[in-house]
Chain A
Amino acid sequence: MGSLFRSETMCLAQLFLQSGTAYECLSALGEKGLVQFRDLNQNVSSFQRKFVGEVKRCEELERILAYLVQEINRADIPLPEGETSPPAPPLKQVLEMQEQLQKLEVELREVTKNKEKLRKNLLELIEYTHMLRVTKTFVKRNVEFEPTYEEFPPLENDSLLDYSCMQRLGAKLGFVSGLINQGKVEAFEKMLWRVCKGYTIVTYAELDEPLEDPETGEVIKWYVFLISFWGEQIGHKVKKICDCYHCHVYPYPNTAEERKEIQEGLNTRIQDLYTVLHKTEDYLRQVLCKAAESVYSHVIQVKKMKAIYHMLNMCSFDVTNKCLIAEVWCPEADLHELRRALEEGSRESGATIPSFMNTIPTKETPPTLIRTNKFTEGFQNIVDAYGVGSYREVNPALFTIITFPFLFAVMFGDFGHGFVMFLFALLLVLNENHPRLNQSQEIMRMFFNGRYILLLMGLFSVYTGLIYNDCFSKSVNLFGSGWSVSAMYSSSHTPAEQKKMGLWNDSVVRHNRVLQLDPSIPGVFQGPYPLGIDPIWNLATNRLTFLNSFKMKMSVILGIIHMTFGVILGIFNHLHFRKKFNIYLVSVPELLFMLCIFGYLIFMIVYKWLVYSAETSRVAPSILIEFINMFLFPASETNGLYSGQFNFGEILMTQVIHSIEYCLGCISNTASYLRLWALSLAHAQLSDVLWTMLVRVGLRVDTTYGVLLLLPVIALFAVLTIFILLIMEGLSAFLHAIRLHWVEFQNKFYVGAGTKFVPFSFRLLSSKFSDDVA
Chain B
Amino acid sequence: MLEGAEFYFNVDHGYLEGLVRGCKASLLTQQDYINLVQCETLEDVKIHLQTTDYGNFLANQTNPLTVSKIDTEMRKKLCREFEYFRNHSLEPLSTFFTYMTCSYMIDNVILLMNGALQKKSVKEILVKCHPLGRFTEMEAVNIAETPSDLFNAVLVETPLAPFFQDCMSENTLDELNIELLRNKLYKSYLEAFYKFCKNHGDVTAEIMCPILEFEADRRAFIITLNSFGTELSKDDRETLYPTCGKLYPEGLRLLAQAEDFDQMRRVADHYGVYKPLFEAVGDGSGGKTLEDVFYEREVQMNVLAFNRQFHYGVFYAYTKLKEQEMRNIVWIAECISQRHRTKINSYIPIL
B118 within 8 A of A: no
Which chain B residues (3-54) contact chain A, with CB distance < 8 Å? 35, 38-39, 43-44, 47-48, 50-51
Which residues on A sit within 8 Å (CB–CB) of B225? Answer: none
Give the total number of A-B pairs whose CB atoms are below 8 A apart.
50
Contact of A240 with B156 at beta-carbon distance under 8 Å, contacts A45-B48, A63-B59 already known: no
- Residues facing B in A21-60 (CB within 8 A) are 45-48, 52, 56, 59
Contacts of A664 in B (CB 8 A): none
Tell me whether A191 is interfacial, beta carbon within 8 Å.
yes
B55 to chain A, nearest CB (A): 11
Bound complex: CA A195 to CA B35 (Å): 54
Additional A-B contacts beyond A45-B48, A194-B156 (4; CB < 8 A): A190-B157, A195-B153, A243-B139, A244-B139
A56 & B136 in contact (Cβ 8 Å cutoff): no
- Determine whether the beta carbon of B38 is less than 8 Å from that of A45: yes
Nearest to A774 among chain B residues (CB) is B56
Asked whether any CB of chain A lies closer than 8 Å to the CB of B101, the reply is: no
State which of B136, B143, B152 has its C-beta within 8 Å of the C-beta of A187.
B136
Q: Cβ of A59: which chain B residues have Cβ within 8 Å of it?
A: 59
Cβ 8 A contact of B143, one of A46, A241, A245: A241
Question: CB of B102 within 8 A of chain A?
Answer: no
Q: Are B137 and A194 in contact, CB atoms less than 8 angstroms apart?
A: no
Q: Which B281-339 residues have a C-beta within 8 angstroms of A?
A: none
Of the candidates A47, A237, A243, A245, the one whose C-beta lies within 8 Å of that of B44 is: A47
Whether the pair A46, B48 counts as a contact (CB closer than 8 A) is yes
**Cα–Cα distance between A191 and B144 once the two chains are bound (Å):** 12
A184 at the interface (CB under 8 A from B): yes
Closest to B156 in A: A194
Query: A194-B152, A240-B142 are known contacts. Are A47 and B157 too (CB-CB below 8 A)?
Result: no
Query: Which residues from B are CB-within-8-Å of A187?
Result: 136-137, 157
CB nearest neighbor in A for B35: A45
Q: Name the residue on A nearest B61 (C-beta).
A: A63
Among A46, A190, A191, the residue within 8 A (CB) of B51 is: A46
Q: Is B203 an interface residue (CB 8 A)?
A: no
The residue in chain B whose Cβ has the minimal distance to the Cβ of A242 is: B140
- Decide: A237 and B143 in contact? CB cutoff 8 A: yes
Which residue on B lies nearest to A45, using beta carbons? B35
Contact of A240 among B43, B60, B143, B152 (CB under 8 A): B143
Which residues does chain A contribute within 8 Å of B153, judged by CB atoms?
191, 194-195
Let me know if B178 is at the binding interface, CB within 8 A. no
Tell me which residues from 145 to 198 in chain A have a Cβ below 8 Å from any Cβ of chain B. Answer: 184, 187, 190-191, 194-195
- Can you list, as one digit per residue, whether each of B183-203 has a CB less than 8 Å from chain A (1) or not (0)? 000000000000000000000
Q: Can you identify 7 A-B contacts, CB atoms within 8 angstroms?
A: A63-B59, A63-B60, A194-B152, A237-B143, A244-B137, A244-B140, A245-B136
- The B141-183 residues at the A interface (CB cut-off 8 A) are 142-143, 152-154, 156-157
Given A194-B153, A240-B143, verify A184-B136 contact (CB < 8 Å): yes
B258 within 8 A of A: no
Considering the complex, give the chain A residue whose CB is closest to the CB of B45. A47
In this complex, how many residues of chain B approach chain A with their Cβ under 8 Å: the count is 24
- A514 CB to nearest B CB, Å: 55
Instruction: Check A191 against B38 for contact (C-beta < 8 Å).
Output: no
Q: Which residue of B lies closest to A240 (CB)?
A: B143
Write the A393-422 contact mask toward B (1 if CB under 8 angstroms, else 0).
000000000000000000000000000000
Closest to B31 in A: A45
Task: Please report the C-alpha to C-alpha distance between residue A245 and residue B43 in the assembled complex, in whole angstroms.
Answer: 38
Distance A241 CA – B144 CA, assembled complex (angstroms): 11
> By CB atoms of chain A within 10 A, which of B59, B60, B140 has the most?
B140
Overall SS of chain A's interface: helix
Residues of the A chain whose Cβ atoms lie less than 8 Å from the Cβ of B59? 59, 63
On chain A, the residues within 8 Å of B44 by CB distance are: 47
List, in ascending order, chain A residues with CB within 8 A of B139's CB: 243-244
Q: How far does the alpha carbon of A191 sit from the alpha carbon of B59 in the complex, in Å?
A: 40
Q: Indicate whether B122 reaches chain A with its CB closer than 8 angstroms.
A: yes
Residues of A within 8 A of B (CB): 45-48, 52, 56, 59, 63, 184, 187, 190-191, 194-195, 237, 240-241, 243-245
Q: How far, in whole Å, are A99 and B41 apart by their CA atoms in the complex?
A: 25
> What is the bound-complex CA distance between A48 and B39, given in angstroms?
9
Give the complex CA separation of A284 and B78 in angstroms.
36
Q: Is the CB of A46 within 8 A of B47?
A: yes
> Contacts of A243 on B, CB cut-off 8 Å?
122, 139-140
Q: Considering the chains assembled together, what is the distance between the CA atoms of A243 and B123 in angstroms?
A: 10
**A-B residue pairs, 10 tightest by C-beta:** A244-B140, A244-B139, A47-B44, A47-B47, A195-B153, A45-B35, A194-B153, A240-B143, A237-B143, A241-B140
CB closest chain-B residue, reference A67: B60
Across-interface contacts of A240 in B (CB, < 8 A):
140, 142-143
State in angstroms the CA–CA spacing of A63 and B59 once bound together.
7
> A residues within 8 A CB of B39?
47
> Which residues of chain A are within 8 angstroms of B140 by Cβ–Cβ distance?
191, 195, 240-241, 243-244
In the docked arrangement, what's the CA distance between A184 and B140, Å?
Answer: 14
Question: B157: which A residues are within 8 A, CB to CB?
Answer: 187, 190
Tell me whether B43 and A56 are in contact (CB under 8 A).
yes
Distance in Å: Cβ of A57 to nearest Cβ of chain B: 12
One digit per residue, 1 when the CB lies within 8 angstroms of any chain A CB and 0 when it does not, for chain B 103-143 equals 00000000000000000001000000000000011111011
Complex contact B142–A56 (CB within 8 A): no
Residues of A within 8 A of B51 (CB): 46
Q: Considering the chains assembled together, what is the distance between the CA atoms of A46 and B60 in angstroms?
A: 20
Q: Which residues of B contact A184 (CB under 8 A)?
A: 136
In contact, A52 and B47 (Cβ under 8 angstroms)? yes
Chain B residue at smallest Cβ distance from A194: B153
B204 → chain A closest CB, angstroms: 32
| Interfacial chain B residues near A48, Cβ < 8 Å | 38
Complex contacts, A52 vs chain B, CB 8 Å: 47
Shortest beta-carbon distance from B205 to chain A in Å: 35
Instruction: Name the A residues within 8 Å of B152 (CB-CB).
Output: 194
Residues in A neighbouring B138, C-beta threshold 8 A = 244
Q: How far is the CB of B268 from chain A (nearest CB, A)?
A: 42
Chain A residues within an 8 Å CB radius of B122: 243
Question: When chains A and B are docked, how far (Å) is the Cα of A191 from the Cα of B135?
Answer: 14
Query: How distant is the Cα of A64 from the Cα of B137 in the complex, in angstroms?
Result: 39
Q: Is the CB of B38 within 8 A of A244?
A: no
Q: Find the residue from A47, A184, A191 having the highest chain B CB count within 10 A.
A: A47
Nearest CB on A from B332, distance (A): 14
Contact at B136–A47, with CB atoms within 8 Å? no
CA gap between A237 and B122 in the complex, in Å = 14
Q: How far is the CA of A707 from the CA of B8 in the complex (A)?
A: 57
Q: Which residue of A lies closest to B60 (CB)?
A: A63
How far apart sit A195 and B153, CA to CA, in the bound complex (Å)? 5
- Chain A residues whose CB sits within 8 angstroms of the CB of B60 once the complex forms: 63
In the bound assembly, the distance between CA atoms of A187 and B137 in angstroms comes to 9
Set of chain B residues within 8 Å of A63, measured between Cβ atoms: 59-60
Question: CA A52 – CA B46 in complex, angstroms?
Answer: 12
Closest CB in chain B relative to A641 CB, distance in Å: 44
| Contacting pair A244 B47 (CB below 8 A) | no
B136, chain A: closest CB distance, angstroms: 7
Instruction: Tell me if A244 and B136 are in contact (CB < 8 A).
Output: yes
Residue of B nearest to A62 (CB): B59
What CA separation (Å) do A244 and B154 show in the bound complex?
Answer: 11
Chain B residues whose C-beta falls within 8 Å of the C-beta of A244 in the assembled complex: 136-140
Q: How far is the CA of A290 from the CA of B138 in the complex (A)?
A: 47
CA distance A641 to B99 in the complex (A): 68
Of A52, A63, A187, A191, most buried by chain B (CB within 10 Å of CB) is A191
Distance A228 CA – B142 CA, assembled complex (angstroms): 22
Q: Which residues of A contact B38 (CB under 8 A)?
A: 45, 48
Give the interface centre of B51, B137, B139, B143 by most chain A CB atoms within 10 Å. B143
A56 in contact with B47 (CB, 8 Å): yes
How far in angstroms is the closest Cβ of chain B from A28? 28
Which residues of A have CB within 8 Å of B154?
Answer: 191, 195
Alpha-carbon separation in the docked complex, A651 to B89 (Å): 55
Quote the shortest CB–CB distance from B52 to chain A (angstroms): 11
Q: State the CA gap A184–B137 with chains docked (Å).
A: 11
Closest A residue, CB atoms, query B59: A63
Nearest chain-B residue to A59 (Cβ)?
B59
Taking CB as reference atom, which chain B residue is nearest A109?
B62
